[in-house]
Amino acid sequence: LRAPGVRGGGCPRFGRWMCTGVFCSGGSGVSLGGAADWVRCSFATDVNKTCRKPFAYPAADAFATGSHTDELNDGDLLAPTLLNAAPKIAAFYALQSAREQLEAGLRATPTGATLGVAVKDSSLARRMQALVGVLDERKLQGVKLTTLTKILHRKRPDFMPLHDKFVAACYVGTTELFPMHSEKDRTWVRYWVLMAAAIESDLRTQAEEWARLGKLAGGDVAKLRVFDVVAWNAGKKVIAQERRRG
């Protein structure tokens, strides 16, 4: 399968600029203050529960399906709906058919697993193979990495980043300043291992900035969830700029 690639601009990725207090991805610079505004808005619980156009927190994060941490029931498979990635009917059936394999991957990944430790002890590739390898091994109609990571993140919030085209825009580009470039025959596991490692590097090397953003979100919010909000907004700007450039 061809892993997704998002054409990037000429600007360095997050890590190159975060050390100066500025987030930058794919040609779109974002101040730390701008990132803080995104986080405040996205994790404003009381506002989200009452406004006409709320963000997904806390609905998606606190969605109670009654399942165990190593279990994926039907509610878990439909949970991406609350993150604007609702599986279609065919995808729901496909996810049901892969449930046993996905649950085996969860059992092989400790509940307290973290992305940082997985990178440090070189277990990242093995753990990602257990969780997202199903995308390379069989045809799951209508299921791609975005849907799958939004399901698995809820079970392993400190280990599994969330993927979508906006996050990808922050890490996949056409210049040497991006950690990844499009590759025709790259597997989904290889693609996600590379991107997850790049995400971990940015979180680790800019720990102070992310800690500040995490405090704004609230102590119960996983760092990878905070990261997703910032990357989603930054990547959205990148793609919009590329469209304007034609």
Q: pLDDT by residue (tens digit) across 66-87? A: 999 999 999 999 999 999 999 9
* Residue 132 · residue 192 · CB < 8 Å: yes
Say whether pLDDT at 42 is over 60: yes
* Residue 149 · residue 163 · CB < 8 Å: yes
Q: pLDDT by residue (tens digit) across 196-240? A: 999 998 899 888 989 999 999 998 999 999 999 999 998 888 788
Residue partners of 158: CB distance under 8 A and separation at least 6: 112, 113, 114, 115, 222, 223, 224
* Residue 9 · residue 24 · CB < 8 Å: no
Q: pLDDT by residue (tens digit) across 111-167? A: 999 999 999 999 999 999 999 999 999 999 999 999 999 999 999 999 999 999 999
Sign of CA dihedral 150, 154, 158, 159: negative
Say whether pLDDT at 44 is over 80: yes
CA gap 131, 137 in Å, rounded = 12
Q: Quick one: pLDDT at residue 217?
A: 96
Residue partners of 128: CB distance under 8 A and separation at least 6: 189, 192, 193, 196
* Residue 101 · residue 134 · CB < 8 Å: yes
Is residue 179 classed as helix, strand or coil in its secondary structure?
A: coil
Bridge partners (DSSP) of residue 28 are 25
CA gap 165, 92 in Å, rounded = 21
**Residue 89 is encoded by which pair of tokens?**
């009917």
7 pLDDT band, cuts 50/70/90, is very low
Residue with tokens 């279990």: 71
Sign of CA dihedral 193, 177, 166, 116: positive
CA gap 183, 134 in Å, rounded = 20
CA gap 46, 211 in Å, rounded = 22
Q: Quick one: pLDDT at residue 9?
A: 33
